[in-house]
A and B are shown apart, each in its own frame.
Chain A
Amino acid sequence: MNLEAAKQAFYEECDELLGLMEASLLAVEASSGAARAEHINAMFRTAHTIKGSAGLFDFADIVAFTHLLESVLDRVRDETLAISPQLVEILFSSCDHIAQLVAAVREGRTGQDNPALTSALEAIFNAPQAQGLSVAAESRVEIEADGAHVVTSENWHLSLRFGPDVLRNGMDPMSFIRYLGTLGQIVFVTTLYDDLPEAEQMDPETCYLGFEIEFKAAPGIDKRAIENVFDFVRDDSRIRIVPPHAHMDEYVRLIKESPEGSSRLGELLVKGGALTPLELEEVLEAQRAAAAKGDHKQLGTLLIQEQLVPPVAVAAALDRQREHQTQKTREHRVVKVDAARLDGLIDLVGELVISGAAAQLAAEGTTQAALREAVASLTALVERIRDEALSLRMVPVGEVFSRFPRVVRDAARDLNKDIQLELEGEETELDKSMVDKLADPLVHLVRNAIDHGIESPSLRRTRGKPDYGTVWLNAYHESGSVVIEVGDDGGGMDRGRIRRRAIERGLIDEDAQLSDQQILQLVFEPGFSTAESVTQLSGRGVGMDVVKRNIEALKGFIEIDSMEGQGTIIRLRMPLTLAIIDGFRVGVGASTFVIPLDLVIECLDLPVSDGVPSHYVNLRGEVLPFLRLRDLFEIDTAPPKREAIVVVQYGTSRAGLVVDRLEGELQAVIKPLGQLFRGVKGLGGSTILGSGAVALILDVPDLIQRAAGDERRRVSATQTPDVKRLRSEQGSEP
C-alpha cells in the first residue's frame, strides 16, 4: 500500500471514528453511572486511535489537539474531573475541530487553529486538582459504602450455552473447555443438560449442553485471551464472561438472560462458588427491583443510582466494551473499493446488458434450439449480474440518519426547545451517490422542522401536546421509488399566511387559483420565508429552494402534507437507482419508448372513442386521465385501429399513456440525453435496444403531472382544492 492509499484509509477511518466519538458523546450526555463511564472510555479510545494514526503521517496539529483532548478525557475517566454541561459542549466542539483538521489535511491545506478551544481544553486539563480531589475523595467514600456491590469471588465466571450445531460442525465443547484449562485452572464446572429433549425428539448430533464454569486465570491472562478461546463458536453460541470481583450488576444481567430461570442459575452460581448466598440474595433483589420498574434500561442505570462507580466495575465495563469492539470489527469485514471502479463495473454491466439483448434478438431469428437455449440462460445470468452490481452501490439510508441525533441536539439547544428524534426505516437501501447528496437537504428540512415546525413549549401546552416536540425521519420503498419522510408534530403550515406572503413577494397573482399542494409548494420558491423572526438556524429565505433544486437534480420529488395545529410531513420521493432499470417497451409509429417497469400498473385496450376526443377513461369507476404519446411527441403517422393504454403510477397519482403497440419487457441501460434534448420535458433518458436502435425513456412522473394538469385546465377553474391529504394518506402508508 503506498502512502497516498494509506492516507486515504486514514481519512475514511477518521470519518468513522469521529462518528463514533460523536455517538459516544451523545450517549455520555444521556447516561449516568457506569454506562456513562463506558461511553467516556469509548470516546477516549477513538481519540487515542486518531492520534495514533495521525502520528504515522506526521499530521502534527491533529496529534497535538487529540493529545490534549485525550488528556482531558483521561482525567474524566479517572474521575478526577466531573462531567459538566460546559465540558460536554467543549467536547462536542472538539469533535468538530478534529473533523475540520482532518478535512484540512485531506484537501492539502493546513488546518485552522482554534486557540479559544485549545485554551479552554488546557484550562480544563489544568483545572485545580481541588475540584478533582473533592470528587475523588467523595468517590473513595462511595467505594467503601459500595463495597457490598462487588462480589468477593476471585474467579472468572464463564456462562456458556453452545449453539445446536457445534457438534455437527466438528467443534466439541469438550475441546474448548480443555483448552481453557491450559490458560489457568478450572475450579468448578457445572454441566447443564436441561435442554435435552424427550428421547424421541432428541437429535443425537445436536448439542444441548450448557456450562457454568469457575475459572482461575493464570497470570497475564485477560478477558480477551479467554474470549479468544471461544472464537470459533462465538457466532452461534451464547458466551458470557464475568471477571473476578465483578460488579453485582454483571450477575444480575447474567441471571436475567439465563434461559433456565433465575433461581436455577442462582443456585448454580452459589454451588460453583461464584456468589455467596448473601450476594445471590442481593442480586436477585436488585433484579426484582429492576423487573418491577419494567424497564430494561434500568439494569444499566441500576448500576448504582449513586453516581460514582467502583473502579472494578469500570474495568468490567471496559472489558465489555472491548468485547463489543471485537464483535464490531468482525461484523465489519468489508472491502473498501473506490467508487470510480464500481461505476466502471456498472458501465461495463450496462454494455453487457445491451450486447446480451442483441444476442437475444439474433437468437430469436434462428431455429437453432441449442443457441436459443444458451442465450436464454445467458440472459438470465446477465440479469443477475446486473442486480448484483447495482446492489453493490446500495447503502442503507441509516448512514445519513446517523448524523441526525447530533443535528437535532444542537438545533434544540440553540432554540431552547425540547426535541425528541425518532428514526425509522434506517435499513432502507438507496444508491450511494444519492445518499451522499441527500444529506444536506435532509439536515435543512430537519432544522426547519425544529425551528418553524415545533411550537414553543407554552404554546404546545395550550394545544394539549406534550412539552417536548417530536421530529421523525422515516424511509421506505414504494412503487419503484424510495420515500424519505421528515415529519414533526408541530404547528403545521398556515396556508393563509403562505398565500399572503407569496402575493407580497410577487410570487403569485392575487387571484391565482392554486391547489392545496401548490400553495404548500410555494415555500420552496426562491426568496420565500414566512418566519416572523429570523433565527440563527433558518428563516433567511435561502435553503428551501436549494433543497428543492437538489432533490430535483436527483430526479426526486417533494410532497408536503400539513395539518394546521397537528404537524407537517415532507416526503422526498427519490428514484431507486440511476443506472439500469427494468423497462417496458412500447411503440408509437416507428418509434420505440421505454417506461420504467416498476411504474407500470396494467395495460388495457383503449376503448374506441365515439368521435369526441376525450382525455380520460373510466377505469373501474375511477377517472383516469391519459396522454397520447402520438400527440405529445408529434409523431405524424396515422394511429392504428386499436390503441393500447398503459396505466402508470408514481406516488399516489396515476395516468394512462396511449400507445400503438406493447412490445414487452427489456433491461434498459439509462444513457443521458445529448445536449440537444436536455431540458425536453417528458423524457428521462435514452437507451440502446438490442437491434442497435435508440429508444427514449419516458419521464413518467412528469407525464403524470402533465396528464393531470391538462385535465385540470380543462375542468372548470372553480373547483375546490384537493381535500387535505394528511389524514387520508397516513392511513395508506405502509
Chain B
Amino acid sequence: MHVSTDYNNDQLTLHLRGPFTIYEAGAAKSLLLDELHVADDMEVDLSEVSEFDTAGLQLLLLMKREALRLDKPLRFHGHSKAVLAVIDLYNLGGVFGDPVVLAGKGRS
C-alpha cells in the first residue's frame, strides 16, 4: 500500500493506493493512527484501494471509533469497488455513515 498525504489548510487528505489487506495491516495501522493524532480534520481517499479484506475493514472501524473518541472529523470517501464489496457484504454502510455510491441492505 502506498500512502500520499495532501495538506490543504488544516485539512489532511490521505490517498491510499494499492492493496489494503492483512499483509499491509500492521504498517497501515500505525501510519493511519499517527496521522489521525496529528491532523485536526482528516479525509481518507479509498478510490485507489485495489484489494481489501476483513483486516482492512477492522482498521477502518478502529479509525472511525478513534476519531469519535478524539472528537475529530474523519471521512472516508471515493470507496473503490473492493472496499465497497466488503462494507456491503458486512452491511456496515450505516456504521461508517460516509456517502457512498452503492448502499445495499446487506443483500448480496
Contacts and interface: CB of A to CB of B under 8 A. Distances in A.
Interface in A163-194: 167-168, 172-174, 177-178, 181, 185-191, 193
Interface of A: 167-168, 172-174, 177-178, 181, 185-191, 193, 196, 199, 202, 204-205, 207-209, 211
B47 interface: no
Contact of A196 (B26, B65, B91, B106): B65
B50 interface: no
Nearest to A197: B62
B89 A177 contact: yes
A177 to B, nearest CB: 6
6 contacts: A167-B22, A188-B105, A191-B95, A193-B61, A202-B58, A207-B55
A207 B58 CA distance: 8
A172 B59 CA distance: 15
A191 B90 contact: yes
A181 B28 CA distance: 30
Contacts of B90: 174, 177, 189, 191, 209, 211
Contact of A191 (B26, B33, B66, B92): B92
A715 B65 CA distance: 83
A172 B86 CA distance: 11
Contact of B55 (A181, A185, A190, A204): A204
Q: Bin the interface of chain B by size.
A: 20 to 34
- 4 closest A-B pairs by beta carbon, nearest first, are A204-B25, A189-B91, A191-B90, A189-B106
Contacts of B66: 199
A216 to B, nearest CB: 11
A185 B104 CA distance: 14
Contacts of B92: 191
Given A204-B26, A204-B28, A205-B25, A196 B33 contact: no
Given A167-B22, A186-B106, A196-B65, A208 B58 contact: yes
B25 A186 contact: no
Contacts of B106: 186-189
Given A191-B91, A204-B29, 19 more contacts: A172-B22, A178-B89, A181-B108, A186-B107, A188-B105, A191-B90, A196-B58, A199-B62, A199-B65, A204-B22, A204-B25, A204-B26, A205-B26, A207-B55, A207-B58, A209-B54, A209-B58, A209-B90, A211-B90
A209 B86 CA distance: 13
A632 to B, nearest CB: 71
B64 to A, nearest CB: 10
A267 B68 CA distance: 24
Contacts of A185: 107
Interface in B64-108: 65-66, 86, 89-92, 95, 105-108
A177 B28 CA distance: 25
Nearest to A191: B90
Given A167-B22, A188-B91, A202-B29, A172 B54 contact: yes
A211 B90 CA distance: 8
Contacts of A190: 91
A186 B66 CA distance: 31
B53 interface: yes
B55 A174 contact: no
A121 to B, nearest CB: 53
A540 to B, nearest CB: 70
A186 B55 contact: no
Contacts of A177: 89-90
B15 to A, nearest CB: 20
A185 B59 CA distance: 28
Contacts of B29: 202, 204
Contacts of A209: 54, 58, 90
A89 B21 CA distance: 62
A185 B106 CA distance: 11
Contacts of B28: 204
Most buried by B among A177, A181, A188, A205: A205
Contacts of B108: 178, 181, 186
B58 A189 contact: no
Contacts of A186: 106-108
A327 to B, nearest CB: 26
Contacts of A205: 22, 25-26, 55
A193 B58 contact: yes
A152 to B, nearest CB: 21
Contacts of B33: 199
B19 to A, nearest CB: 13
Contacts of B59: 204
A173 B54 contact: yes
A110 B95 CA distance: 72
Contacts of A207: 54-55, 58
B54 A196 contact: no
Contacts of A188: 91, 105-106
A190 B93 CA distance: 11
A174 B86 CA distance: 7
Nearest to B28: A204
Contacts of A168: 22
A308 to B, nearest CB: 38
